A and B are shown apart, each in its own frame.
Chain A
Amino acid sequence: MTGFGHNTSPSVDLSSYRDQHFKGSRAEQERLLRNTTTIYVGNLSFYTTEEQIYELFSKCGDVKRIVMGLDKYKKTPCGFCFVEYYLREDGENCMRYINGTRLDDRIVRTDWDAGFVEGRQYGRGKSGGQVRDEYRTDYDGGRGGYGKLMQQKVGGPVQDIAVFRS
Chain B
Amino acid sequence: MSRRRPHDDDDGYERAHRKRRRVSENQEIEDRLESLILRVGEKSTASLESNLEGLASVLEADLASFKAKILRILTECAIKMPEKCTIYTTLVGLLNAKNYNFGGEFVEHMVKNFKDSLKTCRWNAARYSLRFLADLVNCHVIAATSLITLLDLMVDVAKEEGVPNVRKDWFVYSVLSALPWVGRELYEKKESQLEMLLVKIEVFLNKRSKKHHTALRVWSQDTPHPQEEYLDCLWAQVRKLRQDNWVEKHIPRPYLAFDSILCEALQHNLPTILPPPHDPNYEYPMPWVVFRMFDYTDCPEGPILPGAHSIERFLIEEHLHQILEVNHLERKDCASALLNFPYKSKIPLDYSIVEIIFAELFHMPTPRYLEICYGSILIELCKLQPSTMPQVLAQATEILFMRIDTMNVTCFDRFVAWFSYHLSNFQFRWSWDDWDFCLQLDLEHPRPKFVKEVLQKALRLSYFQRIKEIMPEIYEPLLPSKPEPDYKYTHDNAASLPGTTAAHSLVVAVRQKCSPEEVLNVLQDLPNPRQEADADGEGGFNPLKIDVFVQTLLNLGSKSFSHSFAAIGKFHFVFKTLAESEEAQICILRNLFSLWQNHQQMICVLIDKMLKLQIIECSAVANWIFSREMQSEFTKTYIWEVLHLTIKKMNKHVTRLQRELSDARDKMRRHDSDSESEDDRKRRREDHDDKDKPTEEVVERMEEKLEAAQADQKNLFLIIFQRFIMILSEHLVRCDTDNKDFNTFWYKWTIGRLQQVFLTHHEQVQKYSSTLETLLFTQDLDSHIMDVFHQFTSLKA
Contact = CB atoms under 8 A, between A and B. Distances in A.
Contacts of B68: none
B105 interface: no
Interface residues of A, number: 30
A27 B372 CA distance: 33
Interface of B: 1, 34-35, 38-39, 42, 76, 80-81, 326-327, 329-331, 333, 370-373, 375-376, 379, 421, 424-425, 427, 457, 460-463, 560-562, 565, 601-602, 605
Interface in A14-69: 49-52, 54-56, 59-60, 65-66, 68
B370 A97 contact: yes
Given A1-B42, A54-B561, A59 B331 contact: no
A56 B288 CA distance: 30
Contacts of B601: 51, 54-55
Contacts of A97: 331, 370, 372-373, 375-376
Contacts of A3: 34-35, 38
B647 to A, nearest CB: 14
B561 A55 contact: no
Interface stretch (A99-107, A128-136, A140-148, A150-158): A99-107
Contact of B38 (A1, A10, A12, A102): A1
A3 B33 CA distance: 13
Contacts of A55: 457, 460-461, 601
Given A4-B81, A11-B329, A104-B462, 7 more contacts: A50-B560, A54-B561, A59-B421, A96-B331, A97-B331, A97-B370, A97-B375
A56 B333 contact: no
B424 A102 contact: yes
A31 B34 CA distance: 32
4 closest A-B pairs by beta carbon, nearest first, are A55-B460, A59-B372, A97-B376, A102-B425
A101 B38 contact: no
A54 B460 CA distance: 9
Nearest to A2: B326
Nearest to A105: B427
A50 B562 contact: yes
Nearest to B563: A50
Nearest to A61: B370
A5 interface: yes
Given A52-B462, A55-B461, A93 B370 contact: yes
A5 B372 contact: no
A73 B605 CA distance: 30
A14 to B, nearest CB: 16
A54 B605 contact: yes
B329 A56 contact: no
Contacts of B330: 2, 9-11, 96
B371 A96 contact: no
A78 interface: no
Contacts of B1: 5
Main secondary structure of the interface of B (DSSP, over half): helix
A50 B42 CA distance: 46
Contacts of B560: 49-51
B563 to A, nearest CB: 9
A96 B81 CA distance: 23
A66 B427 CA distance: 25
B561 A101 contact: no
Given A1-B42, A4-B80, A96-B329, A101 B376 contact: yes
B81 to A, nearest CB: 8
Contacts of B35: 3
Nearest to B73: A5
B561 A51 contact: yes
B373 A96 contact: yes
Contacts of B372: 59-60, 93, 97-98
A104 B463 CA distance: 9
A52 B460 contact: yes
Contacts of A9: 329-330
A161 to B, nearest CB: 44
A4 B75 CA distance: 12
B370 A59 contact: yes
Contacts of B421: 59
B75 to A, nearest CB: 12
B404 to A, nearest CB: 22
A117 B35 CA distance: 45
Nearest to A104: B462
A15 B565 CA distance: 32
B774 to A, nearest CB: 34
A101 B562 contact: no
Nearest to B373: A97
B150 to A, nearest CB: 26
B55 to A, nearest CB: 16
Contacts of A65: 562, 565
A18 B457 CA distance: 36
Given A3-B38, A51-B560, A59-B371, A103 B461 contact: yes
B653 to A, nearest CB: 13
A68 B34 contact: no
A104 B461 CA distance: 7
16 contacts: A4-B38, A4-B76, A4-B80, A11-B329, A11-B331, A49-B560, A50-B560, A51-B602, A55-B601, A59-B421, A93-B372, A96-B330, A97-B373, A103-B461, A104-B461, A105-B462
A2 B333 contact: yes
Contacts of B370: 59-60, 93, 97
A101 B421 CA distance: 10
Contacts of B462: 52, 104-105
Contacts of B39: 1
A49 B465 CA distance: 14
A56 B326 contact: no
Query: Counting chain A CB atoms within 10 Å of each CB, which of B34, B375, B462 scores highest?
Result: B462
A164 to B, nearest CB: 44
Contacts of B371: 59
Contacts of B81: 4
Contacts of A4: 38, 76, 80-81
A108 to B, nearest CB: 11
Contacts of B329: 9, 11-12, 96
A27 to B, nearest CB: 16
B644 to A, nearest CB: 13
Interface in A77-135: 93, 96-98, 101-105
B610 to A, nearest CB: 15
Contacts of B457: 55
